[in-house]
């Protein structure tokens, strides 16, 4: 946590340059009025280059990125898409919006998708898998990609939390057929609201680009009002102002990740000594964005005790344990499609995930962390009944 802490004159200057160039806020057209200023296109090109992906498409949010990526797969009603039980509601919402059936797999001690449970949930109707890098820790992509490749399933990475992370020196978001990103205000880099999709294939990119723009194929030989189209779509376009902020933030991505990794290590060095605290696992060769420091304690009561002690000390937790109902599929009884896909009983559909999440605590990591913060966290945790 995150890019918003480093917003400054660079973002202001990028935004000013949009107005200095003619004030065109729309990504397409107005070529005579914009004096060569194309922020969304520049943001896409720079993002693709930094991530090592052939194609990138900027969109209006991370949720839109998921929805548009699924549109490129041209799913039919009844097709199944598997994601994981610990994610934000947006991942499942995007599957439902695509008219596909949402299925969730259990997580393991990495708090990401358990590949062994994924295999059990695959049916002849499964078309795609969305692996999520929750809170900045890479999911077990080596195993998950192998499972998808062997069965001809499309792998999408929900990289909302993984921007700037990698696994085995390959950037998160580039392992799968597509990788989606969020630039909302809580993410590693932010454009206020915004998102990006990375693609391996030109065909997926073209379908997604048209679909996020009402089907416009942006034929360079035709004016926009006469543009060709092969399907309907929607409007999930990013604006020039969001992209201007994104261009400045992207230059700060590595600095943000470096600071988060350093600060997380400083906190962990102190608190790992506390009896009863156990680290969240990460796959081998994981390079985490360190958006959060997540650990397990012996019980839910102790997890709640950690939050209470931290809040009393003027500190905080992030998502776990306080916001679990927005991030655990076992509680989403308001989504009838998900309930039906899990036999009508969501509450007992993910016993392992429930057990792990009930005793997980997540600390926010700040870029501009106060020097005494690790010690304050340690002192707060030492006060928790059940930990010492
Ligand atoms: C895992 C995950 N996917 C998708 C999203 C949606 O991103 P946005 O808020 O940009 O729509 C989020 C947002 O927090 C998220 O945590």
Residue 185 C-alpha to ligand 1 middle, in angstroms? 10
User: Domain 253-382: which topology?
Assistant: 3.90.1150
Residue 160 C-alpha to ligand 1 middle, in angstroms? 5
Residue 86 C-alpha to ligand 1 middle, in angstroms? 12
**What is the tens place of the pLDDT at every residue in 179-207?**
999 999 999 999 999 999 999 999 999 99
Using CB atoms within 10 A of its CB, is residue 220 exposed (0-12), middle (13-18) or buried (19+)? Answer: exposed
User: Domain 3-250: which topology?
Assistant: 3.40.640
DSSP secondary structure letter of residue 281: P
Nearest to 379 by CA among 290, 303, 306: 306
Place of tokens 């991505």: 253
Our answer on whether the CB atom of 90 is closer than 6 Å to any ligand 1 atom is yes
* Sign, CA torsion 280/132/341/120: negative
**What is the tens place of the pLDDT at every residue in 126-172?**
999 999 999 999 999 999 999 999 999 999 999 999 999 999 999 99
Nearest to 83 by CA among 122, 50, 57, 34: 122
- The mean pLDDT value for 98-116 works out to 98
- The mean pLDDT value for 235-245 works out to 98
Q: Indicate which atom in ligand 1 lies nearest the CA of residue 186.
A: 14
- Distance, in Å, from the CA atom of 236 to the CA atom of 224, rounded to the nearest integer, reads 17
Statement: residue 388 has pLDDT above 80: no
Residue limits of CATH 3.90.1150.10 in the chain: 253-382
Q: Indicate which atom in ligand 1 lies nearest the CA of residue 87.
A: 1
Our answer on whether the CB atom of 87 is closer than 6 Å to any ligand 1 atom is yes
Statement: residue 346 has pLDDT above 60: yes
Q: Indicate which atom in ligand 1 lies nearest the CA of residue 184.
A: 10
Pocket probe mutation, ligand 1, options 65, 67, 104, 184, max atoms within 8 Å of Cβ = 184
Statement: residue 245 has pLDDT above 80: yes
- What band does 1 get if pLDDT is binned at 50, 70 and 90? low
Contact predicate 106/132, CB 8 Å: no
- Distance, in Å, from the CA atom of 157 to the CA atom of 178, rounded to the nearest integer, reads 6
Cβ neighbours around 365 below 10 Å, total: 26
Looking at residue 6, what is its pLDDT? 93
- The mean pLDDT value for 358-364 works out to 98
Place of tokens 């650990």: 295
Q: Whose CA is nearest to atom 10 of ligand 1?
A: 62
The encoded tokens of residue 32 equal 């005579």
- The mean pLDDT value for 63-88 works out to 98
- Distance, in Å, from the CA atom of 181 to the CA atom of 197, rounded to the nearest integer, reads 6
| Residue 315 neighbours by CB under 8 Å, 6+ apart | 363, 373, 376, 377, 380
Our answer on whether the CB atom of 158 is closer than 6 Å to any ligand 1 atom is yes
Q: Whose CA is nearest to atom 16 of ligand 1?
A: 88
- Distance, in Å, from the CA atom of 381 to the CA atom of 375, rounded to the nearest integer, reads 10
Our answer on whether the CB atom of 139 is closer than 6 Å to any ligand 1 atom is no
Residue limits of CATH 3.40.640.10 in the chain: 3-250
Cα angle 29-73-190, degrees, rounded to a multiple of 5 = 55
- The mean pLDDT value for 48-59 works out to 98
- The mean pLDDT value for 208-217 works out to 98
Looking at residue 2, what is its pLDDT? 79
Residue 158 C-alpha to ligand 1 middle, in angstroms? 8
Contact predicate 239/25, CB 8 Å: yes
The overall longest dimension of the chain from CA atoms, in Å, is: 70
**What is the tens place of the pLDDT at every residue in 253-286?**
999 999 999 999 999 999 999 999 999 999 999 9
Question: What average pLDDT does the chain have?
Answer: 97
Pocket probe mutation, ligand 1, options 63, 64, 292, max atoms within 8 Å of Cβ = 63
Our answer on whether the CB atom of 182 is closer than 6 Å to any ligand 1 atom is yes
Cβ neighbours around 231 below 10 Å, total: 12
């Amino acid at each position: 946590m995150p890019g918003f802490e480093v917003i400054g004159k660079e973002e202001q200057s990028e935004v000013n340059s949009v107005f200095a160039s003619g004030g065109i806020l729309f990504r397409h057209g107005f070529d005579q009025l914009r004096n060569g200023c194309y922020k969304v296109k520049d943001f896409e090109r720079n993002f693709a280059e930094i991530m090592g992906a052939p194609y990138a498409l900027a969109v209006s949010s991370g949720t839109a990125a998921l929805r548009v990526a699924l549109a490129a797969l041209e799913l039919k009603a009844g097709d199944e898409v598997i994601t994981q039980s610990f994610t934000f509601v947006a991942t499942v919402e995007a599957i439902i919006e695509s008219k596909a059936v949402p299925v969730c797999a259990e997580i393991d001690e990495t708090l990401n998708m358990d590949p062994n449970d994924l295999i059990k949930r695959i049916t002849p109707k499964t078309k795609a898998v969305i692996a999520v890098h929750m809170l900045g820790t890479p999911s077990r992509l080596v195993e998950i990609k192998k499972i998808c490749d062997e069965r001809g399933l499309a792998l999408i990475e929900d990289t909302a939390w993984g921007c700037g992370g990698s696994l085995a020196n390959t950037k998160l978001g580039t392992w799968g057929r597509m990788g989606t990103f969020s630039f909302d205000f809580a993410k590693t880099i932010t454009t206020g609201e915004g998102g990006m999709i990375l693609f391996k294939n030109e065909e997926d990119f073209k379908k997604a680009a048209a679909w996020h723009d009402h089907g416009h194929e942006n034929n360079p030989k035709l004016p926009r009002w006469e543009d060709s189209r092969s399907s309907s779509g929607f409007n999930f376009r990013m604006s020039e102002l969001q992209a201007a902020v994104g261009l400045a933030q992207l230059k700060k991505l590595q600095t943000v990740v470096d600071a988060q990794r350093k600060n997380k290590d400083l906190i962990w060095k102190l608190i790992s000594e506390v009896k009863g605290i156990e680290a969240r696992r990460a796959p081998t060769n994981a390079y985490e964005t360190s958006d959060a420091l997540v650990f397990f304690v012996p019980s839910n009561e102790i997890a709640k005790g950690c939050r209470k002690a931290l809040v009393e000390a003027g500190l905080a937790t992030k998502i776990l344990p306080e916001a679990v109902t927005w991030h655990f599929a076992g509680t989403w009884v308001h989504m009838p499609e998900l309930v039906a896909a899990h036999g009508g009983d969501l509450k007992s559909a993910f016993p392992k995930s429930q057990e792990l999440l009930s005793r997980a605590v997540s600390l926010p990591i700040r870029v501009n962390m106060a020097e005494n913060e690790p010690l304050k966290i340690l002192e707060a945790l030492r006060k928790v009944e059940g930990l010492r």
